[in-house]
């Protein structure tokens, strides 16, 4: 089997019963592969939206349903964005700190700095969006968070970039959350 067939089989398997993947799971630390659009990819995006909605989330990346593919969905102020192979083109110099959560880290929130405004290039059809989108505020944060997932980067990794004092508190909270999940 070549990689394309492996992914196709994996997609078929996941689509039987799409489930949220939570930490710690090695798939959340994997770099995701680019995707070639096919009708099946639309099914995956629909499944991702379903899992996001069921779990009360506002964004989801494909690894969070067990697929190491460059796909994300996000509930933005302009409607639901579905992105295939999103590429970050520009980030503003202005940085904002906002508390962030992740469906894969239930009940865990941490304040993380991110650019206020970004420009993202998208593939595929998105009725509410053009191919190059400027996103700002929560929309930008949401898409940056999901794009992190596509690189295998989770909230727990972002903690390591925080100043030492904030890092310690964030790590303790995270350890507590992970113990609860066992």
Residue 4 Cβ, how far from Zn ion at the closest point, in Å? 27
Q: Any catalytic annotation for residue 146?
A: yes
Closer residue to Zn ion (CB): 35 or 112: 112
Query: In angstroms, what is the C-alpha Rg of the chain?
Result: 16
Least Cβ distance, residue 5 to Zn ion (angstroms): 29
CB of 104 to Zn ion, least distance (A): 5
* Catalytic option among 43, 116, 146, 161: 146
Q: What is the binding site for Zn ion (CB under 5 A)?
A: 102
Rounded Cα gap, residues 93 and 38, in angstroms: 37
What is the number of the residue whose Cβ is closest to Zn ion?
A: 102
Query: Given the complex with Zn ion, which of 33 and 55 has the nearer CB atom?
Result: 55
Task: Give the nearer residue to Zn ion in terms of CB position, either 71 or 102.
Answer: 102
User: Active-site residue numbers?
Assistant: 146
């Amino acid at each position: 089997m070549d990689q394309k067939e492996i992914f196709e089989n994996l997609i078929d398997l996941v689509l039987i019963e799409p489930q949220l993947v939570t930490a710690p799971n090695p798939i959340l630390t994997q770099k995701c592969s680019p995707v070639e659009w096919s009708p099946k990819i639309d099914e995956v995006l629909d499944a991702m939206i379903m899992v996001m909605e069921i779990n009360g989330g506002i964004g989801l990346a494909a690894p969070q349903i067990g697929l190491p593919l460059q796909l994300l969905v996000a509930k933005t102020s302009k409607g639901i964005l579905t992105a295939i192979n999103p590429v970050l083109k520009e980030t503003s110099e202005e940085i904002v700190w906002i508390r962030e959560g992740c469906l894969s880290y239930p009940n865990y929130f941490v304040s993380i700095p991110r650019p206020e405004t970004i420009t993202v290039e998208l593939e595929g059809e998105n009725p509410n969006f053009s191919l190059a989108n400027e996103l700002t505020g929560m929309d930008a944060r949401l898409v940056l968070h999901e794009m992190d997932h596509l690189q295998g980067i989770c909230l727990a990794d972002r903690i390591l970039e925080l100043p030492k004092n904030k890092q310690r508190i964030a790590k303790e909270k995270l350890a507590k959350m992970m113990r609860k999940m066992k």
